[in-house]
């Protein structure tokens, strides 16, 4: 019965703006493209009113993204209001504005800073981003973040210019502790990510990389996406989506209390954020589903191979999670000391 009352925390990515100062060739939000349309920013007052709704739905982890979220005029308020609502807040950024904002972000209670990296060759990274001098700003911002005790993570979008054998040295030189590698169409890239994990802490579970590889090969996949159930996407209009690749929103975030969980199995994409979370949460979701079925007098689902895969992924990820938890605890403690 205790299992029935157990609430698995949910995640939400929030697109706070479609404006970006970079010119990445792979992104529709690039400053020299018109795909995103007129400049849009999430309304800070409405966002604050939406936070209790998200909290009631079990969302305890929220990532502010864009566009470039640090161009939002109220970005510090968005972070502080999220933290005040008892939701852990992360920001994913290209890093250009970090020297200006890092102290304020840390003071606002930011739990995790995620910085996008395209290449082990930082000159190549700067060219792709269209931001000359970005390396210096990244190094300065990451150093400031470490001084504040703020965990920093690199998010590497897998592409043809990434040279994995050189990536660990580049990330260490910039001051990163961990790396989160995203998607690509090439199976060789997935193999390279797996090898990289032996030299540098990689967030992506090997089991979720294997799922992506099966997707690329057109093979059946074991773990359905938790999008619309334990993972959501919120746009600048405050419409809630099952995921950012879905064809239509579920409705307004202010109607989320009345929107049912989306439990139809889906393996239609290979977006790393959803793949990783789905793999890590799958065992817990299966356990709570089985407990509720038994409580209703039904025979619960049989133990499946996918549950074992999820448990193994969770065990493998545990050391990284503990390290992030220690970093967060140290940050909170330092904040109390400073305030005193």
- Rounded to the nearest 5°, which phi and psi values hold at 246? -70, 155
Q: What token pair was written down for 74?
A: 């109220």
68, 40 Cβ separation under 8 angstroms: no
Which of 168-177, 207-216, 219-228 is the least confident region? 207-216
Q: CA 209, CA 215: separation in Å to the nearest integer? A: 10
Residue 328 has what DSSP assignment? H
What is the mean pLDDT of the segment spanning 38-44?
92
Q: CA 255, CA 266: separation in Å to the nearest integer? A: 23
- Residue 192 CB coordination number (10 Å): 18
> pTM, whole model, 2 decimals?
0.77
User: In this predicted structure, what is the pLDDT of residue 214?
Assistant: 73
Torsion (CA) 279, 186, 189, 166 in degrees, nearest 10: -140
What is the mean pLDDT of the segment spanning 57-69?
93
**Helix axes of 134-147 and 122-129: crossing angle, nearest 10 degrees:** 110
Number of residues that this document lists for the chain: 340
- Per residue in 287-317, pLDDT (tens digit) is 776 666 666 666 655 557 777 666 666 666 6
What is the mean pLDDT of the segment spanning 81-88?
97
Q: What token pair was written down for 208?
A: 């979720």
- Rounded to the nearest 5°, which phi and psi values hold at 106? -65, -45
Looking up residue 182, the CATH number of its domain turns out to be 3.20.20.70
pLDDT bracket for residue 101 (50, 70, 90) = very high
Q: Which neighbouring-strand residues pair with 252?
A: 239
What is the mean pLDDT of the segment spanning 55-65?
95
User: In this predicted structure, what is the pLDDT of residue 139?
Assistant: 92
The residue written with tokens 């973040």 in the block is 145
Which range of 17-31, 125-139, 167-181, 208-222 scores highest in mean pLDDT? It is 125-139
40, 18 Cβ separation under 8 angstroms: yes
Task: Give the C-alpha distances (Å, rounded to integers) separating 315 from 239, 311, 320.
Answer: 35, 6, 10
Largest CA distance in the chain: 64
Name the CA radius of gyration of the chain, rounded.
20
Q: Is 258 helix (H, G, I), strand (E, B) or coil?
A: helix
Q: What token pair was written down for 119?
A: 């290449």
User: In this predicted structure, what is the pLDDT of residue 326?
Assistant: 58
Question: Who wins on pLDDT, 118 or 334?
Answer: 118
User: Is residue 118's pLDDT more than 90?
Assistant: no
Q: How many domains does the chain have?
A: 1
Q: What token pair was written down for 106?
A: 């840390």
User: In this predicted structure, what is the pLDDT of residue 188?
Assistant: 47
User: Is residue 52's pLDDT more than 70?
Assistant: yes
Q: Is 233 helix (H, G, I), strand (E, B) or coil?
A: strand
Q: Is 14 helix (H, G, I), strand (E, B) or coil?
A: strand
pLDDT bracket for residue 334 (50, 70, 90) = very low
User: Is residue 110's pLDDT more than 70?
Assistant: yes
Host domain of residue 154: 2-339
Q: Among the residues of the chain, which ranges form H helices?
A: 2-5, 44-56, 75-84, 98-108, 122-129, 134-147, 167-174, 187-196, 206-217, 272-295, 305-339
User: Could you tell me if residue 67 is left (phi over 0), alpha (psi between -120 and 50 degrees) or otherwise beta?
Assistant: left
pLDDT bracket for residue 5 (50, 70, 90) = very low
Q: Is 111 helix (H, G, I), strand (E, B) or coil?
A: coil
Element (H, E) at 65: strand 59-65
């Amino acid at each position: 019965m205790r299992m029935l009352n157990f609430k698995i925390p949910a995640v939400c990515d929030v697109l706070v703006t479609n404006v970006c100062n970079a010119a990445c060739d792979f992104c529709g939000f690039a400053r020299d493209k018109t795909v995103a349309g007129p400049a849009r920013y999430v309304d800070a007052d409405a966002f604050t009113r939406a936070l209790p709704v998200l909290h009631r739905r079990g969302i305890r982890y929220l990532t502010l993204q864009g566009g470039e979220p640090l161009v939002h005029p109220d970005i510090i308020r968005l972070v502080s209001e999220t933290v005040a609502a008892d939701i852990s807040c992360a920001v994913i950024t290209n890093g250009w504005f970090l020297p200006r904002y890092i102290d304020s972000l840390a003071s606002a209670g930011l739990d995790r800073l995620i910085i996008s990296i395209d290449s082990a060759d930082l000159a190549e990274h700067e060219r792709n981003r269209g931001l000359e001098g970005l390396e210096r700003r990244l190094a300065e911002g990451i150093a400031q973040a470490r001084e504040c005790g703020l965990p920093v993570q690199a998010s590497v979008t897998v592409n043809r210019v990434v040279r994995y054998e050189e990536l660990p040295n580049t990330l260490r030189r910039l001051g990163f502790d961990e790396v989160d590698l995203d998607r690509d169409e090439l199976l060789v890239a997935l193999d390279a990510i797996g090898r990289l994990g032996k030299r540098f802490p990689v967030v992506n579970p090997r089991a979720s990389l294997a799922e992506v590889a099966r997707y690329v090969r057109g093979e059946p996949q074991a773990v359905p996406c938790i999008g619309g159930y334990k993972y959501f996407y919120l746009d600048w209009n405050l419409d809630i989506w099952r995921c950012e690749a879905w064809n239509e929103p579920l409705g307004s975030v202010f109607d989320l209390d009345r929107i049912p969980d989306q439990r139809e199995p889906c393996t239609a994409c290979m977006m790393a954020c959803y793949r990783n979370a789905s793999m890590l949460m799958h065992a817990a979701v299966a356990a709570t589903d089985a407990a509720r079925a038994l409580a209703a007098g039904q025979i619960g689902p049989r133990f499946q191979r996918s549950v074992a895969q999820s448990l193994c992924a969770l065990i493998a990820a545990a050391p990284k999670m503990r390290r992030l938890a220690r970093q967060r605890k140290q940050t909170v403690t330092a904040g109390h000391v400073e305030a005193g």
